[in-house]
């Protein structure tokens, strides 16, 4: 490529909307251009990088026996509703672009393809003799990010490799999962990147286990916790650890004590002169499930610990099956003043809440409000059931909890019968619960708070706490005892308490999942085993962010002058710079080197622009080409200057040694 004939424009200043170095550099160096919020054009240099990354990914996938395919970007809502993820992706996480076609059919632009590939497997895989199967694609994906940022790191359109495997058993899945672990390590090593594989939360994808591949970089969005013995590494969303040992409480008898202006753990412990490890703090969350169900979760945790809301959401998602079989959390929010005003009879004493905050703090709908809802109730044919609904109100207004709790649980046991009374109960209760909280508080306790004795906690009254409290006497121990604490650097490792967790920042470039039968069971994708019995397909899922990986490489390797590409994914290996294009000698030498290097497999561009030499040198460093050859003043001695971008060294080489030297450097970088 000749720069004089290329679409090549660089910027001297950082764009105002670019936040991190890699985003600034890719814009300045002419690799990408912003078209809209989170939408970027890949310009020629960037497209070459993406092609190289894609090819490395493709070669490693093919080496495992996976088969490349191409799946539709436009996906019907029905298959997502069948899997149960439509609400999660369009409401809870809200990351799917959804639309309606001219026939009023609902569609989505795929952020992922589990539903599509499971539909294909359901149609095509019949017998265990066809298993295992592994399909993958390299495809443009879409995410409706609330706040697109950092360029290609968190865009609304991106390139991704996603693969899906189907198996007859968990053992077979684990073998492919191990193969993918190795393949992903190979991909990142071949791309010339420093990375760490870590345990991860499976999120909305689901499954029994997953692992992320993090490219190490100071600007990484994710925090990684790891041990120096290299036996443990995890994303903080998933990480577990041993907290510091609790200090024995100095309060040996139960009492209620005035503790003015102590709404925080720090102020409380200063006032009482005690350790936060003998305090139980209680945090109230509003939890909105699909199907319009709102509940509250009161989380008790040791005072020196923080709540990991990813872990909490996972536990509440499991627990939500009690509420009308609700499987998706739309929103998880600490109950602030606005939420309290909406749901509670009076403001709660935040900072002073006890572990047994009473359900009756939640306000109940008025009779007038219930009558208003009754106006909306219809049977299956659309006929008004107002009178029947009003009769329900009359019968149950004095026992609203019975109406909401028992009927809501009951209707899902008898839903298939669909009698007129069931339809009435269904509609009426669902309409109420969409406007009022399900009148209970789910109580959750973190494992750090379970063994505490004689602890300090809130008294449900502003400026008051209770001291010397115990589970089983003053407070009932919550049944839902789980790990919802946030592990942090400095904690002791579970596998070896002598190992202390260290912290690093990372950019997620790959993620592999053991999905199990989550999608196949939901969508009816089965096969006949060797005994003639129908079984659900066992699945795995494996993703690599191709465009994200390319930018992450820049975030990992740059300096004050620009990008420093790893040789394997650089758009070109070398650039031949002509300081003075009016010099016939310099141009002739440059043309010959340009031709000979490309012929030898050293991908080379020629900077033959009519620009000052200083501009060309700055641009060469900015765009990050690994090797620079300058046909300058040393030509009179039969030499050219060669600069290695990463090392920063420069040397004069004989003209006839340049091709062989650069070829050796390129080959050595690929080993």
- At 48 the three-state DSSP class reads helix
What's the average model confidence in pLDDT over 164-179?
A: 96
With cut-offs at 50, 70 and 90, classify the pLDDT of residue 417.
Answer: very low
Query: What pLDDT, on the 0 to 100 scale, is given for residue 604?
Result: 98
Which residues, at least 6 apart from 662, have a Cβ–Cβ distance to it below 8 Å?
573, 574, 597, 600, 602, 627, 629, 642
Query: What pLDDT, on the 0 to 100 scale, is given for residue 365?
Result: 60
N-terminal to C-terminal alpha carbon distance within the chain: 26
Encoding tokens for residue 427? 């509609």
Q: Does the structure show a pLDDT above 50 at 530?
A: yes
Please, which residues bridge with residue 33 across strands?
Answer: 41
The residue among 356, 368, 288 whose CA lies nearest residue 323 is 288
Which residues, at least 6 apart from 645, have a Cβ–Cβ distance to it below 8 Å?
564, 565, 621, 624, 625, 626, 627, 628
Please, which residues bridge with residue 284 across strands?
Answer: 298
Residue corresponding to tokens 């149960």? 84
Angle, CA of 337, 340 and 346, to the nearest 5°: 105
Percent of the chain with pLDDT over 70: 86
What's the average model confidence in pLDDT over 125-137?
A: 97
The residue among 558, 584, 583 whose CA lies nearest residue 645 is 558
Q: Does the structure show a pLDDT above 50 at 409?
A: no
CB 60 within 8 A of CB 187: yes
Q: How many CA atoms lie within 13 A of 107 on its CB side?
A: 13
What's the average model confidence in pLDDT over 261-290?
A: 94
Q: Which residues of 393-416 are buried (b: 16+ CB within 10 A; e: fewer)?
A: beebeeebeebbbebbeebeeeee
Residue 532's region, left for phi above 0, alpha for psi from -120 to 50, else beta, is left
Preceding peptide of 414 cis, ω within 30°: no
DSSP per-residue letters across 539-575:
EEEEEEEHHHHHHHHHHHSEETTEE---GGG-S-SEE
What's the average model confidence in pLDDT over 450-463?
A: 97
With cut-offs at 50, 70 and 90, classify the pLDDT of residue 418.
Answer: very low
What's the average model confidence in pLDDT over 339-368?
A: 82
SS3 content of the chain, % helix, strand, coil (to 5): 35, 25, 35
The residue among 36, 223, 43, 23 whose CA lies nearest residue 144 is 36
With cut-offs at 50, 70 and 90, classify the pLDDT of residue 166.
Answer: very high
E strands in 264-422: 280-289, 294-302, 329-334
Query: What pLDDT, on the 0 to 100 scale, is given for residue 437?
Result: 44
Encoding tokens for residue 466? 């209770």
């Amino acid at each position: 490529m000749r720069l004089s004939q290329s679409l090549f424009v660089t910027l001297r200043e950082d764009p105002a909307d670019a936040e991190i170095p890699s985003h600034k550099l890719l814009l300045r160096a002419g690799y990408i251009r912003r078209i809209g919020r989170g939408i970027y054009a890949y310009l020629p240099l960037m497209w070459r990088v993406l092609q190289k990354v894609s090819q490395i990914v493709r070669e490693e996938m093919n080496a495992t026996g996976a088969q490349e395919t191409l799946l539709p970007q436009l996906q019907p809502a029905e298959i997502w509703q069948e899997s149960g993820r439509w609400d999660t992706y369009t409401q809870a996480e809200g990351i799917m672009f959804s639309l309606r076609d001219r026939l009023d059919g609902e569609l989505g632009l795929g952020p992922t393809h589990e539903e599509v590939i499971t539909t294909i497997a359901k149609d095509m895989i019949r017998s265990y003799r066809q298993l295992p199967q592994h399909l993958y694609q390299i495809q443009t994906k879409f995410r409706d990010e609330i706040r697109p940022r950092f360029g290609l790191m968190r865009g609304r359109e991106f390139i991704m490799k996603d693969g899906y495997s189907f198996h007859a058993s968990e053992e077979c899945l684990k073998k492919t999962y191990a193969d993918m672990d190795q393949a992903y390590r190979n991909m990142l090593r071949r791309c010339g990147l420093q990375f760490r594989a870590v345990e991860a939360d499976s999120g909305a994808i689901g499954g029994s286990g997953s692992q992320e591949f993090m490219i190490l970089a100071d600007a990484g969005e994710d925090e990684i916790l790891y041990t120096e013995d290299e036996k443990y590494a995890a994303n903080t969303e998933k990480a577990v650890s041993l907290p510091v040992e609790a200090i024995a409480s100095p309060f040996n008898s139960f009492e209620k004590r005035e503790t003015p202006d102590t709404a925080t753990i720090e102020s409380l412990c200063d006032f009482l002169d005690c350790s936060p490890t003998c305090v139980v703090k209680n945090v109230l969350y509003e939890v909105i499930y699909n199907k319009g169900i709102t509940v509250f979760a009161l989380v008790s945790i040791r005072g020196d610990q923080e709540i990991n809301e990813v872990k909490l959401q996972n536990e509440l998602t499991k627990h939500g099956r009690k509420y009308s079989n609700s499987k998706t959390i739309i929103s998880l929010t600490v109950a602030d003043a606005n939420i309290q005003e909406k749901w509670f009879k009076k403001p709660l004493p935040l900072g002073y809440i006890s572990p047994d905050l009473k359900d009756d703090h939640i306000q109940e709908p008025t009779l007038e409000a219930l009558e208003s809802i009754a106006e909306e109730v219809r049977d299956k044919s659309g006929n008004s059931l107002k009178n029947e609904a009003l009769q329900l109100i009359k019968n149950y207004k004095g026992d609203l909890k019975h109406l909401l709790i028992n009927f809501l649980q009951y209707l899902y046991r008898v839903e298939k019968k669909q009698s007129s009374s069931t339809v009435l109960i269904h509609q009426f209760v669902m309409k109420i619960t969409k406007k009022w909280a399900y009148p209970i508080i789910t109580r959750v306790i973190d494992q750090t708070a379970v063994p505490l004795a004689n602890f300090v906690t809130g008294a449900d009254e502003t400026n008051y706490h209770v001291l010397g409290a115990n589970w089983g006497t003053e407070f009932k121990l919550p049944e839902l005892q789980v790990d919802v604490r946030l592990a942090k650097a400095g904690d002791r490792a579970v596998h070896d308490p002598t190992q202390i967790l260290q912290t690093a920042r990372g950019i997620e470039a790959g993620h592999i999942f053991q999905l199990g039968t989550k999608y196949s069971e939901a969508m009816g994708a089965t096969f006949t085993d060797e005994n003639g019995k129908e079984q659900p397909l066992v699945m795995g899922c494996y993703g690599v962010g191709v465009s994200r990986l390319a930018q992450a490489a820049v975030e990992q390797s740059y300096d004050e002058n620009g990008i420093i590409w790893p040789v394997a994914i650089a758009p070109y290996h070398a650039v031949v710079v002509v300081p003075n294009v009016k010099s016939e000698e310099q141009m002739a030498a440059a043309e010959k080197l340009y031709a000979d290097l490309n012929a030898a497999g050293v991908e080379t561009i020629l900077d033959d622009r009519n620009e000052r030499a200083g501009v060309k040198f700055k641009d060469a460093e900015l765009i990050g080409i690994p090797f620079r050859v300058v046909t300058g003043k040393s030509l009179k001695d039969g030499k050219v200057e060669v600069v290695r971008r990463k090392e920063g060294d420069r040397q004069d080489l004989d003209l006839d040694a340049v091709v062989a030297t650069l070829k050796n450097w390129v080959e050595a970088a690929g080993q």
